[in-house]
Structure 1
Protein backbone atom coordinates (compact mmCIF):
# COMPACT_ATOMS: atom_id res chain seq x y z
CA UNK A 1 0.00 0.00 0.00
CA UNK A 2 1.36 3.38 -0.96
CA UNK A 3 0.90 6.14 1.62
CA UNK A 4 -2.32 8.03 0.86
CA UNK A 5 -3.87 11.18 2.29
CA UNK A 6 -6.84 11.40 -0.10
CA UNK A 7 -9.25 8.80 -1.41
CA UNK A 8 -8.67 7.43 -4.91
CA UNK A 9 -11.63 7.51 -7.26
CA UNK A 10 -12.40 4.55 -9.53
CA UNK A 11 -15.11 3.67 -11.98
CA UNK A 12 -15.71 0.26 -10.35
CA UNK A 13 -14.45 -1.67 -7.33
CA UNK A 14 -14.77 -5.46 -7.03
CA UNK A 15 -14.56 -7.00 -3.54
CA UNK A 16 -15.20 -10.60 -2.49
CA UNK A 17 -14.72 -13.16 0.27
CA UNK A 18 -14.88 -10.85 3.28
CA UNK A 19 -16.51 -13.59 5.41
CA UNK A 20 -18.25 -11.30 7.90
CA UNK A 21 -19.19 -13.48 10.86
CA UNK A 22 -15.87 -15.29 10.79
CA UNK A 23 -13.23 -14.40 13.37
CA UNK A 24 -10.72 -14.36 10.52
CA UNK A 25 -12.44 -11.48 8.66
CA UNK A 26 -10.12 -8.47 8.58
CA UNK A 27 -12.86 -5.88 8.98
CA UNK A 28 -10.43 -3.19 10.13
CA UNK A 29 -8.40 -3.61 6.94
CA UNK A 30 -11.51 -3.43 4.77
CA UNK A 31 -12.85 -0.36 6.55
CA UNK A 32 -9.50 1.31 6.06
CA UNK A 33 -9.53 0.34 2.37
CA UNK A 34 -13.04 1.75 1.89
CA UNK A 35 -11.92 4.93 3.59
CA UNK A 36 -9.30 5.57 0.90
CA UNK A 37 -11.12 4.22 -2.17
CA UNK A 38 -14.29 5.53 -3.79
CA UNK A 39 -16.09 4.24 -6.88
CA UNK A 40 -19.16 4.94 -8.97
CA UNK A 41 -20.03 1.23 -8.63
CA UNK A 42 -19.01 -1.37 -6.06
CA UNK A 43 -19.63 -5.00 -6.96
CA UNK A 44 -19.56 -7.48 -4.07
CA UNK A 45 -18.53 -10.79 -5.63
CA UNK A 46 -19.81 -13.24 -3.02
CA UNK A 47 -19.01 -14.61 0.44
CA UNK A 48 -19.31 -11.15 1.98
CA UNK A 49 -21.27 -12.71 4.85
CA UNK A 50 -20.22 -16.11 6.14
CA UNK A 51 -23.56 -17.78 6.72
CA UNK A 52 -21.96 -21.21 7.20
CA UNK A 53 -20.04 -20.05 10.27
CA UNK A 54 -22.87 -17.93 11.63
CA UNK A 55 -25.18 -20.95 11.64
CA UNK A 56 -22.61 -22.93 13.64
CA UNK A 57 -21.65 -20.20 16.05
CA UNK A 58 -23.06 -16.65 16.05
CA UNK A 59 -20.22 -14.12 15.91
CA UNK A 60 -21.05 -10.59 14.83
CA UNK A 61 -18.80 -7.98 16.48
CA UNK A 62 -19.00 -4.24 15.90
CA UNK A 63 -16.50 -4.46 13.04
CA UNK A 64 -19.01 -6.50 10.99
CA UNK A 65 -21.71 -3.90 11.64
CA UNK A 66 -19.29 -1.14 10.65
CA UNK A 67 -18.53 -2.75 7.28
CA UNK A 68 -22.24 -3.24 6.49
CA UNK A 69 -23.07 0.32 7.56
CA UNK A 70 -20.14 1.74 5.61
CA UNK A 71 -21.47 0.10 2.44
CA UNK A 72 -25.04 1.25 3.18
CA UNK A 73 -23.76 4.77 3.69
CA UNK A 74 -21.97 4.69 0.32
CA UNK A 75 -25.17 3.45 -1.33
CA UNK A 76 -27.14 6.25 0.27
CA UNK A 77 -24.65 8.78 -1.10
CA UNK A 78 -25.10 7.55 -4.66
CA UNK A 79 -22.69 4.63 -5.15
CA UNK A 80 -24.31 1.76 -7.03
CA UNK A 81 -23.68 -1.44 -5.07
CA UNK A 82 -24.44 -4.88 -6.50
CA UNK A 83 -24.22 -7.98 -4.31
CA UNK A 84 -23.64 -11.31 -6.09
CA UNK A 85 -23.97 -14.05 -3.43
CA UNK A 86 -21.50 -16.91 -3.09
CA UNK A 87 -21.77 -20.29 -1.41
CA UNK A 88 -21.21 -18.94 2.12
CA UNK A 89 -23.97 -16.33 1.72
CA UNK A 90 -26.18 -18.44 -0.53
CA UNK A 91 -29.26 -17.52 1.54
CA UNK A 92 -29.30 -14.27 -0.47
CA UNK A 93 -29.73 -16.19 -3.72
CA UNK A 94 -33.43 -16.38 -2.84
CA UNK A 95 -33.70 -12.61 -3.38
CA UNK A 96 -32.48 -11.78 -6.93
CA UNK A 97 -33.49 -8.26 -7.92
CA UNK A 98 -34.20 -7.30 -4.30
CA UNK A 99 -32.71 -4.13 -2.81
CA UNK A 100 -31.52 -4.03 0.80
CA UNK A 101 -30.89 -0.42 1.80
CA UNK A 102 -29.96 0.41 -1.78
CA UNK A 103 -27.78 -2.68 -2.28
CA UNK A 104 -29.02 -4.73 -5.24
CA UNK A 105 -28.84 -8.55 -5.17
CA UNK A 106 -28.06 -10.34 -8.47
CA UNK A 107 -27.19 -13.96 -9.27
CA UNK A 108 -24.55 -12.87 -11.80
CA UNK A 109 -24.03 -9.93 -14.11
CA UNK A 110 -22.28 -8.76 -17.25
CA UNK A 111 -20.11 -5.73 -16.51
CA UNK A 112 -19.23 -3.46 -19.42
CA UNK A 113 -15.95 -1.67 -18.78
CA UNK A 114 -15.23 1.88 -19.92
CA UNK A 115 -13.33 0.58 -22.96
CA UNK A 116 -16.37 -1.42 -24.13
CA UNK A 117 -15.07 -4.84 -23.09
CA UNK A 118 -17.55 -7.08 -21.31
CA UNK A 119 -16.87 -9.23 -18.24
CA UNK A 120 -18.93 -11.99 -16.68
CA UNK A 121 -19.07 -11.39 -12.92
CA UNK A 122 -19.74 -14.49 -10.79
CA UNK A 123 -18.62 -15.79 -7.42
CA UNK A 124 -17.39 -19.05 -8.95
CA UNK A 125 -18.51 -21.70 -6.46
CA UNK A 126 -20.69 -23.37 -9.10
CA UNK A 127 -17.47 -24.47 -10.80
CA UNK A 128 -15.93 -25.93 -7.64
CA UNK A 129 -16.83 -29.63 -7.81
CA UNK A 130 -16.26 -30.02 -4.07
CA UNK A 131 -18.93 -27.44 -3.29
CA UNK A 132 -21.28 -28.62 -6.06
CA UNK A 133 -21.08 -32.39 -5.60
CA UNK A 134 -19.86 -33.02 -2.06
CA UNK A 135 -21.32 -30.50 0.35
CA UNK A 136 -20.21 -32.53 3.39
CA UNK A 137 -16.61 -32.47 2.19
CA UNK A 138 -16.91 -28.74 1.64
CA UNK A 139 -18.03 -28.24 5.23
CA UNK A 140 -15.20 -30.45 6.51
CA UNK A 141 -12.78 -28.39 4.47
CA UNK A 142 -14.30 -25.27 6.02
CA UNK A 143 -13.60 -26.60 9.53
CA UNK A 144 -10.01 -27.41 8.56
CA UNK A 145 -9.69 -23.88 7.24
CA UNK A 146 -10.88 -22.55 10.62
CA UNK A 147 -8.08 -24.52 12.28
CA UNK A 148 -5.53 -23.07 9.85
CA UNK A 149 -6.79 -19.57 10.62
CA UNK A 150 -6.39 -20.24 14.35
CA UNK A 151 -2.77 -21.20 13.70
CA UNK A 152 -2.46 -17.95 11.75
CA UNK A 153 -3.47 -15.93 14.80
CA UNK A 154 -0.92 -17.67 17.02
CA UNK A 155 1.90 -17.35 14.47
CA UNK A 156 1.07 -13.69 13.84
CA UNK A 157 1.37 -12.93 17.55
CA UNK A 158 4.72 -14.73 17.79
CA UNK A 159 6.10 -13.07 14.65
CA UNK A 160 4.96 -9.64 15.86
CA UNK A 161 6.72 -10.23 19.17
CA UNK A 162 10.04 -11.04 17.48
CA UNK A 163 9.72 -8.25 14.93
CA UNK A 164 8.86 -10.28 11.83
CA UNK A 165 6.21 -9.19 9.28
CA UNK A 166 2.82 -10.85 8.91
CA UNK A 167 2.84 -14.21 7.11
CA UNK A 168 -0.24 -16.34 6.42
CA UNK A 169 0.11 -20.02 7.32
CA UNK A 170 -3.39 -20.76 5.99
CA UNK A 171 -2.57 -19.20 2.62
CA UNK A 172 0.70 -21.15 2.44
CA UNK A 173 -0.96 -24.45 3.40
CA UNK A 174 -3.79 -23.92 0.94
CA UNK A 175 -1.35 -23.15 -1.86
CA UNK A 176 0.54 -26.39 -1.22
CA UNK A 177 -2.62 -28.50 -1.33
CA UNK A 178 -4.20 -26.69 -4.26
CA UNK A 179 -1.02 -26.86 -6.27
CA UNK A 180 -0.68 -30.57 -5.50
CA UNK A 181 -3.94 -31.29 -7.30
CA UNK A 182 -3.65 -28.38 -9.73
CA UNK A 183 -6.96 -27.08 -8.42
CA UNK A 184 -6.38 -23.38 -9.04
CA UNK A 185 -5.34 -23.88 -12.65
CA UNK A 186 -8.32 -26.10 -13.36
CA UNK A 187 -10.71 -23.67 -11.68
CA UNK A 188 -9.37 -20.79 -13.77
CA UNK A 189 -9.70 -22.82 -16.97
CA UNK A 190 -13.31 -23.82 -16.29
CA UNK A 191 -14.33 -20.28 -15.32
CA UNK A 192 -12.65 -18.89 -18.46
CA UNK A 193 -14.60 -21.44 -20.52
CA UNK A 194 -17.83 -20.12 -18.96
CA UNK A 195 -16.84 -16.62 -20.06
CA UNK A 196 -16.40 -17.90 -23.64
CA UNK A 197 -19.85 -19.49 -23.53
CA UNK A 198 -21.24 -16.10 -22.57
CA UNK A 199 -19.42 -14.38 -25.46
CA UNK A 200 -17.61 -11.90 -23.22
CA UNK A 201 -14.02 -10.69 -23.06
CA UNK A 202 -13.27 -11.76 -19.52
CA UNK A 203 -14.48 -13.00 -16.17
CA UNK A 204 -14.27 -11.52 -12.67
CA UNK A 205 -14.75 -13.93 -9.78
CA UNK A 206 -13.72 -14.80 -6.22
CA UNK A 207 -14.26 -17.99 -4.20
CA UNK A 208 -10.77 -19.54 -4.14
CA UNK A 209 -9.02 -16.67 -2.27
CA UNK A 210 -6.33 -16.44 -4.94
CA UNK A 211 -6.02 -12.92 -6.34
CA UNK A 212 -4.68 -12.74 -9.88
CA UNK A 213 -5.16 -11.06 -13.25
CA UNK A 214 -4.02 -12.97 -16.32
CA UNK A 215 -4.95 -13.76 -19.91
CA UNK A 216 -6.12 -17.28 -20.67
CA UNK A 217 -6.28 -17.96 -24.41
CA UNK A 218 -7.94 -14.65 -25.18
CA UNK A 219 -10.05 -14.44 -22.00
CA UNK A 220 -9.07 -12.01 -19.25
CA UNK A 221 -9.32 -13.92 -15.95
CA UNK A 222 -9.55 -11.72 -12.85
CA UNK A 223 -9.89 -13.06 -9.30
CA UNK A 224 -10.49 -10.52 -6.55
CA UNK A 225 -8.83 -12.52 -3.75
CA UNK A 226 -10.19 -12.10 -0.22
CA UNK A 227 -10.26 -10.13 3.05
CA UNK A 228 -9.28 -13.04 5.28
CA UNK A 229 -5.67 -13.56 4.21
CA UNK A 230 -4.50 -11.40 1.33
CA UNK A 231 -6.73 -8.29 1.69
CA UNK A 232 -7.08 -7.61 -2.03
CA UNK A 233 -9.55 -5.91 -4.33
CA UNK A 234 -9.79 -5.20 -8.04
CA UNK A 235 -10.35 -1.67 -9.34
CA UNK A 236 -11.42 -0.48 -12.76
CA UNK A 237 -9.99 2.88 -13.80
CA UNK A 238 -11.82 5.49 -15.85
CA UNK A 239 -10.22 4.20 -19.07
CA UNK A 240 -11.36 0.60 -18.53
CA UNK A 241 -8.00 -0.74 -17.32
CA UNK A 242 -7.91 -2.87 -14.18
CA UNK A 243 -5.54 -3.02 -11.26
CA UNK A 244 -5.18 -5.44 -8.38
CA UNK A 245 -4.79 -3.69 -5.02
CA UNK A 246 -3.29 -5.33 -1.94
CA UNK A 247 -4.10 -3.34 1.17
CA UNK A 248 -2.20 -3.10 4.41
CA UNK A 249 -3.96 -1.04 7.08
CA UNK A 250 -2.75 2.52 7.37
CA UNK A 251 -1.39 3.98 10.60
CA UNK A 252 -4.39 6.28 10.87
CA UNK A 253 -7.38 5.55 13.05
CA UNK A 254 -9.88 3.37 11.20
CA UNK A 255 -13.41 4.75 11.07
CA UNK A 256 -15.47 2.63 13.44
CA UNK A 257 -18.40 4.89 14.24
CA UNK A 258 -20.50 4.75 11.07
CA UNK A 259 -23.87 4.08 12.65
CA UNK A 260 -26.28 6.28 10.73
CA UNK A 261 -28.13 3.30 9.20
CA UNK A 262 -29.20 0.04 10.74
CA UNK A 263 -27.58 -3.05 9.16
CA UNK A 264 -29.58 -5.68 7.32
CA UNK A 265 -31.14 -8.20 9.73
CA UNK A 266 -28.65 -10.99 8.98
CA UNK A 267 -29.90 -13.18 11.83
CA UNK A 268 -33.45 -12.96 10.50
CA UNK A 269 -32.39 -13.92 6.98
CA UNK A 270 -30.38 -16.87 8.24
CA UNK A 271 -33.27 -18.01 10.42
CA UNK A 272 -35.64 -17.83 7.47
CA UNK A 273 -33.23 -19.85 5.34
CA UNK A 274 -32.85 -22.52 8.03
CA UNK A 275 -36.61 -22.78 8.34
Structure 2
Protein backbone atom coordinates (compact mmCIF):
# COMPACT_ATOMS: atom_id res chain seq x y z
CA UNK A 1 0.00 0.00 0.00
CA UNK A 2 1.35 3.44 -0.93
CA UNK A 3 2.21 5.75 1.94
CA UNK A 4 0.14 8.89 2.34
CA UNK A 5 1.76 12.15 1.12
CA UNK A 6 3.35 14.28 3.82
CA UNK A 7 3.97 17.38 1.63
CA UNK A 8 1.86 19.01 -1.04
CA UNK A 9 4.52 19.58 -3.73
CA UNK A 10 8.18 18.80 -4.39
CA UNK A 11 10.32 20.53 -7.03
CA UNK A 12 13.62 18.92 -8.10
CA UNK A 13 15.86 19.64 -11.07
CA UNK A 14 19.17 18.77 -12.70
CA UNK A 15 19.55 15.12 -11.72
CA UNK A 16 21.83 14.42 -14.73
CA UNK A 17 21.11 10.71 -14.67
CA UNK A 18 23.36 8.70 -16.94
CA UNK A 19 26.51 10.39 -15.62
CA UNK A 20 28.84 9.51 -12.73
CA UNK A 21 28.06 12.87 -11.10
CA UNK A 22 24.39 12.12 -10.35
CA UNK A 23 23.76 11.84 -6.60
CA UNK A 24 20.87 9.39 -6.98
CA UNK A 25 21.42 7.81 -3.57
CA UNK A 26 20.96 11.15 -1.80
CA UNK A 27 17.82 11.99 -3.78
CA UNK A 28 16.38 8.57 -2.89
CA UNK A 29 17.16 9.38 0.75
CA UNK A 30 15.03 12.53 0.44
CA UNK A 31 12.19 10.87 -1.49
CA UNK A 32 11.83 8.21 1.21
CA UNK A 33 11.16 10.98 3.72
CA UNK A 34 9.34 13.53 1.58
CA UNK A 35 6.28 12.04 -0.13
CA UNK A 36 4.57 14.65 -2.36
CA UNK A 37 1.09 14.84 -3.82
CA UNK A 38 2.70 16.48 -6.86
CA UNK A 39 6.27 16.21 -8.13
CA UNK A 40 7.84 18.62 -10.62
CA UNK A 41 10.94 17.36 -12.46
CA UNK A 42 12.34 20.71 -13.57
CA UNK A 43 14.69 19.68 -16.36
CA UNK A 44 17.95 17.84 -17.00
CA UNK A 45 16.61 14.67 -15.43
CA UNK A 46 18.72 12.78 -17.98
CA UNK A 47 21.99 14.08 -19.37
CA UNK A 48 21.52 13.01 -22.98
CA UNK A 49 24.42 15.22 -24.08
CA UNK A 50 26.97 13.40 -21.93
CA UNK A 51 25.37 10.02 -22.60
CA UNK A 52 25.75 10.60 -26.36
CA UNK A 53 29.46 11.41 -25.96
CA UNK A 54 30.30 8.46 -23.72
CA UNK A 55 30.77 4.96 -25.11
CA UNK A 56 29.18 3.56 -21.95
CA UNK A 57 26.66 5.61 -19.96
CA UNK A 58 26.70 5.42 -16.18
CA UNK A 59 23.28 4.13 -15.20
CA UNK A 60 24.13 2.31 -12.00
CA UNK A 61 21.87 0.51 -9.56
CA UNK A 62 21.10 3.62 -7.51
CA UNK A 63 20.05 5.57 -10.59
CA UNK A 64 17.82 2.71 -11.72
CA UNK A 65 16.26 2.48 -8.25
CA UNK A 66 15.59 6.21 -8.32
CA UNK A 67 13.79 5.96 -11.67
CA UNK A 68 11.70 3.04 -10.43
CA UNK A 69 10.81 5.03 -7.30
CA UNK A 70 9.64 8.05 -9.34
CA UNK A 71 7.57 5.83 -11.67
CA UNK A 72 6.07 4.09 -8.65
CA UNK A 73 5.06 7.50 -7.24
CA UNK A 74 3.34 8.33 -10.54
CA UNK A 75 1.63 4.94 -10.64
CA UNK A 76 0.30 5.21 -7.08
CA UNK A 77 -1.34 8.62 -7.32
CA UNK A 78 1.39 11.27 -7.23
CA UNK A 79 1.00 13.77 -10.07
CA UNK A 80 4.41 13.83 -11.79
CA UNK A 81 5.16 16.66 -14.22
CA UNK A 82 8.35 16.50 -16.27
CA UNK A 83 9.68 19.74 -17.78
CA UNK A 84 12.68 18.83 -20.00
CA UNK A 85 15.81 20.99 -19.87
CA UNK A 86 18.66 21.65 -22.28
CA UNK A 87 20.48 18.38 -21.47
CA UNK A 88 17.34 16.33 -22.16
CA UNK A 89 15.90 18.71 -24.77
CA UNK A 90 15.06 15.78 -27.07
CA UNK A 91 12.19 15.02 -24.69
CA UNK A 92 10.58 18.36 -25.55
CA UNK A 93 9.25 16.65 -28.65
CA UNK A 94 6.78 14.92 -26.32
CA UNK A 95 5.47 18.04 -24.54
CA UNK A 96 1.73 17.65 -24.10
CA UNK A 97 1.99 13.86 -23.95
CA UNK A 98 1.78 11.49 -21.00
CA UNK A 99 4.01 8.44 -20.50
CA UNK A 100 3.67 5.92 -17.67
CA UNK A 101 1.50 8.47 -15.77
CA UNK A 102 4.17 11.19 -16.19
CA UNK A 103 3.02 14.37 -17.95
CA UNK A 104 5.60 16.15 -20.15
CA UNK A 105 5.29 19.96 -20.35
CA UNK A 106 7.43 22.83 -21.72
CA UNK A 107 6.71 24.90 -18.62
CA UNK A 108 3.90 25.19 -16.08
CA UNK A 109 2.18 27.49 -13.61
CA UNK A 110 1.80 26.01 -10.15
CA UNK A 111 -0.73 27.45 -7.70
CA UNK A 112 0.26 27.04 -4.06
CA UNK A 113 -2.30 26.24 -1.37
CA UNK A 114 -2.30 29.90 -0.30
CA UNK A 115 -3.01 31.04 -3.90
CA UNK A 116 0.39 32.15 -5.18
CA UNK A 117 0.98 31.47 -8.88
CA UNK A 118 4.52 30.25 -9.59
CA UNK A 119 5.94 29.97 -13.10
CA UNK A 120 7.99 26.77 -13.49
CA UNK A 121 10.62 26.37 -16.23
CA UNK A 122 14.07 24.84 -16.51
CA UNK A 123 15.75 28.18 -17.17
CA UNK A 124 17.98 27.56 -20.19
CA UNK A 125 15.88 30.09 -22.08
CA UNK A 126 17.83 32.77 -20.16
CA UNK A 127 21.28 31.62 -21.33
CA UNK A 128 21.80 34.48 -23.77
CA UNK A 129 21.07 37.11 -21.13
CA UNK A 130 24.53 36.90 -19.51
CA UNK A 131 26.99 39.05 -21.45
CA UNK A 132 30.65 38.09 -21.12
CA UNK A 133 33.68 37.77 -23.43
CA UNK A 134 33.80 34.47 -25.30
CA UNK A 135 37.17 33.55 -23.78
CA UNK A 136 35.71 33.98 -20.29
CA UNK A 137 32.84 31.62 -21.10
CA UNK A 138 35.25 29.01 -22.51
CA UNK A 139 37.53 29.23 -19.46
CA UNK A 140 34.49 29.02 -17.20
CA UNK A 141 33.26 25.87 -18.95
CA UNK A 142 36.67 24.20 -18.58
CA UNK A 143 36.84 25.19 -14.91
CA UNK A 144 33.34 23.83 -14.34
CA UNK A 145 34.22 20.40 -15.74
CA UNK A 146 37.45 20.35 -13.72
CA UNK A 147 35.60 21.20 -10.51
CA UNK A 148 33.06 18.45 -11.12
CA UNK A 149 35.79 15.87 -11.65
CA UNK A 150 37.46 17.00 -8.42
CA UNK A 151 34.09 16.93 -6.68
CA UNK A 152 33.51 13.34 -7.85
CA UNK A 153 36.73 12.20 -6.19
CA UNK A 154 36.03 14.24 -3.05
CA UNK A 155 32.59 12.67 -2.64
CA UNK A 156 34.00 9.18 -3.23
CA UNK A 157 36.80 9.70 -0.70
CA UNK A 158 34.46 11.05 1.97
CA UNK A 159 32.12 8.09 1.55
CA UNK A 160 35.00 5.65 1.97
CA UNK A 161 35.96 7.48 5.16
CA UNK A 162 32.38 7.39 6.44
CA UNK A 163 32.02 11.18 6.21
CA UNK A 164 28.71 12.86 5.25
CA UNK A 165 28.14 14.39 1.84
CA UNK A 166 29.79 17.73 1.13
CA UNK A 167 30.39 19.35 -2.26
CA UNK A 168 33.79 20.84 -3.03
CA UNK A 169 32.62 22.31 -6.35
CA UNK A 170 29.58 23.99 -4.74
CA UNK A 171 31.81 25.57 -2.08
CA UNK A 172 34.24 26.86 -4.74
CA UNK A 173 31.40 28.28 -6.85
CA UNK A 174 30.04 30.22 -3.85
CA UNK A 175 33.39 32.05 -3.64
CA UNK A 176 33.51 32.92 -7.35
CA UNK A 177 32.66 36.50 -8.37
CA UNK A 178 31.95 35.39 -11.95
CA UNK A 179 29.52 32.72 -10.77
CA UNK A 180 27.72 35.29 -8.60
CA UNK A 181 27.42 37.65 -11.56
CA UNK A 182 26.06 34.83 -13.73
CA UNK A 183 23.54 33.85 -11.03
CA UNK A 184 22.44 37.48 -10.64
CA UNK A 185 21.86 37.80 -14.39
CA UNK A 186 19.83 34.58 -14.40
CA UNK A 187 17.76 35.75 -11.44
CA UNK A 188 17.03 39.12 -13.06
CA UNK A 189 15.90 37.40 -16.27
CA UNK A 190 13.65 34.99 -14.38
CA UNK A 191 12.08 37.82 -12.38
CA UNK A 192 11.53 39.87 -15.55
CA UNK A 193 9.66 36.97 -17.11
CA UNK A 194 7.61 36.51 -13.94
CA UNK A 195 6.67 40.22 -14.01
CA UNK A 196 5.75 40.01 -17.72
CA UNK A 197 3.50 37.01 -17.17
CA UNK A 198 1.88 38.48 -14.08
CA UNK A 199 2.71 35.61 -11.73
CA UNK A 200 3.74 35.75 -8.08
CA UNK A 201 7.01 33.89 -8.43
CA UNK A 202 9.42 31.81 -10.44
CA UNK A 203 10.90 28.34 -9.80
CA UNK A 204 13.68 26.93 -11.99
CA UNK A 205 16.99 25.11 -12.05
CA UNK A 206 19.64 24.90 -14.80
CA UNK A 207 22.48 26.89 -13.22
CA UNK A 208 23.13 24.56 -10.22
CA UNK A 209 23.04 27.51 -7.82
CA UNK A 210 20.24 27.19 -5.25
CA UNK A 211 18.64 30.42 -4.12
CA UNK A 212 15.40 31.48 -2.44
CA UNK A 213 14.33 35.06 -1.91
CA UNK A 214 11.89 37.87 -2.58
CA UNK A 215 12.39 40.78 -4.99
CA UNK A 216 9.81 43.55 -5.38
CA UNK A 217 7.13 41.22 -4.08
CA UNK A 218 8.00 38.37 -6.48
CA UNK A 219 9.35 35.06 -5.15
CA UNK A 220 12.44 33.66 -6.89
CA UNK A 221 13.62 30.12 -6.23
CA UNK A 222 16.31 28.11 -7.92
CA UNK A 223 15.81 24.64 -6.48
CA UNK A 224 19.45 23.69 -7.14
CA UNK A 225 20.63 20.34 -8.48
CA UNK A 226 21.53 16.72 -7.63
CA UNK A 227 25.11 16.86 -8.88
CA UNK A 228 26.65 19.31 -6.43
CA UNK A 229 24.22 20.96 -4.01
CA UNK A 230 21.55 18.25 -3.57
CA UNK A 231 18.71 20.66 -2.80
CA UNK A 232 15.00 20.83 -3.57
CA UNK A 233 11.95 23.03 -3.01
CA UNK A 234 9.11 21.73 -0.84
CA UNK A 235 5.58 23.10 -0.51
CA UNK A 236 3.82 22.20 2.72
CA UNK A 237 0.06 21.66 2.91
CA UNK A 238 -0.54 25.24 4.10
CA UNK A 239 1.35 26.67 1.09
CA UNK A 240 4.59 27.44 2.93
CA UNK A 241 7.69 26.87 0.81
CA UNK A 242 11.07 25.56 2.01
CA UNK A 243 14.41 25.12 0.27
CA UNK A 244 15.76 21.87 1.70
CA UNK A 245 18.82 19.65 1.42
CA UNK A 246 18.94 15.87 0.93
CA UNK A 247 18.23 15.27 4.63
CA UNK A 248 15.06 17.43 4.42
CA UNK A 249 16.76 20.04 6.60
CA UNK A 250 15.41 23.53 5.86
CA UNK A 251 18.11 25.73 4.33
CA UNK A 252 15.92 28.75 3.65
CA UNK A 253 12.33 29.25 4.78
CA UNK A 254 9.59 30.96 2.81
CA UNK A 255 10.42 34.66 2.24
CA UNK A 256 6.67 35.31 2.02
CA UNK A 257 5.00 32.63 4.17
CA UNK A 258 1.21 32.24 4.41
CA UNK A 259 1.25 34.02 7.79
CA UNK A 260 2.86 37.04 6.16
CA UNK A 261 5.67 37.00 8.74
CA UNK A 262 9.23 36.78 7.51
CA UNK A 263 11.20 33.94 9.05
CA UNK A 264 14.59 34.47 10.68
CA UNK A 265 16.31 32.00 8.34
CA UNK A 266 17.91 33.99 5.49
CA UNK A 267 19.62 33.01 2.26
CA UNK A 268 22.72 34.94 3.31
CA UNK A 269 23.01 33.12 6.64
CA UNK A 270 22.82 29.73 4.88
CA UNK A 271 25.55 30.74 2.45
CA UNK A 272 27.74 31.89 5.35
CA UNK A 273 27.13 28.70 7.35
CA UNK A 274 27.92 26.53 4.32
CA UNK A 275 31.40 28.07 4.13
CA UNK A 276 32.23 27.39 7.79
CA UNK A 277 34.37 24.29 8.44
CA UNK A 278 31.85 23.04 10.98
CA UNK A 279 28.86 23.95 8.83
CA UNK A 280 29.45 21.42 6.07
CA UNK A 281 27.99 18.39 7.78
CA UNK A 282 24.22 18.60 7.95
CA UNK A 283 22.30 15.51 8.95
> TM-score normalised to the size of structure 1?
0.79
> Counterparts in 2 of 1:1-275, with a 5 A limit?
9-57=6-54, 58-129=57-128, 144-157=143-156, 166-177=165-176, 179=178, 182-248=181-247
- C-alpha displacement at 1:165, in angstroms? 5.6
Residue 128 of structure 1 aligns to a residue in which SS? helix
How many pairs align? 244
For the 8 Å contact 2:130–2:186, the answer to whether it is kept is: no
For the 8 Å contact 1:205–1:224, the answer to whether it is kept is: yes
Shifted more, 162-171 versus 181-190: the winner is: 162-171
Provide the rounded CA distance (Å) in 1 between the counterparts of 2:129 and 2:230.
24
For the 8 Å contact 2:174–2:180, the answer to whether it is kept is: no
Change (3 A) 1:197 1:236: same
Provide the rounded CA distance (Å) in 1 between the counterparts of 2:99 and 2:49.
21
- C-alpha displacement at 1:7, in angstroms? 8.3
Shifted more, 104-113 versus 153-162: the winner is: 153-162
Residue 32 of structure 2 aligns to a residue in which SS? helix
Could you report, residue by residue, the CA deviation over 1:180-215 in whole angstroms, capped at 9, with x for unpaired residues?
661111110110110011100000111111112100
Provide the rounded CA distance (Å) in 2 between the counterparts of 1:184 and 1:43.
22
Could you report, residue by residue, the CA deviation over 1:7-29 in whole angstroms, capped at 9, with x for unpaired residues?
87111100101110110101111
For the 8 Å contact 1:121–1:204, the answer to whether it is kept is: yes
> TM-score normalised to the size of structure 2?
0.77
Change (3 A) 1:144 1:59: farther
Residue 36 of structure 2 aligns to a residue in which SS? strand
- C-alpha displacement at 1:81, in angstroms? 0.2
- C-alpha displacement at 1:236, in angstroms? 0.5
Provide the rounded CA distance (Å) in 1 between the counterparts of 2:177 and 2:51.
26
Shifted more, 164-173 versus 187-196: the winner is: 164-173
- Structure 2: which 5+ residue stretches go unaligned? 249-283
Shifted more, 180-189 versus 199-208: the winner is: 180-189
- C-alpha displacement at 1:130, in angstroms? 7.9
Change (3 A) 1:122 1:132: farther
- Structure 1: which 5+ residue stretches go unaligned? 1-5, 250-275
Provide the rounded CA distance (Å) in 2 between the counterparts of 1:163 and 1:67.
22
Shifted more, 220-229 versus 169-178: the winner is: 169-178
- C-alpha displacement at 1:163, in angstroms? 7.9
Which structure is higher in RCO with an 8 Å CA cutoff and minimum separation 6? 1
Provide the rounded CA distance (Å) in 2 between the counterparts of 1:217 and 1:195.
11
Change (3 A) 1:27 1:143: farther
Shifted more, 143-152 versus 126-135: the winner is: 126-135
- C-alpha displacement at 1:141, in angstroms? 5.8
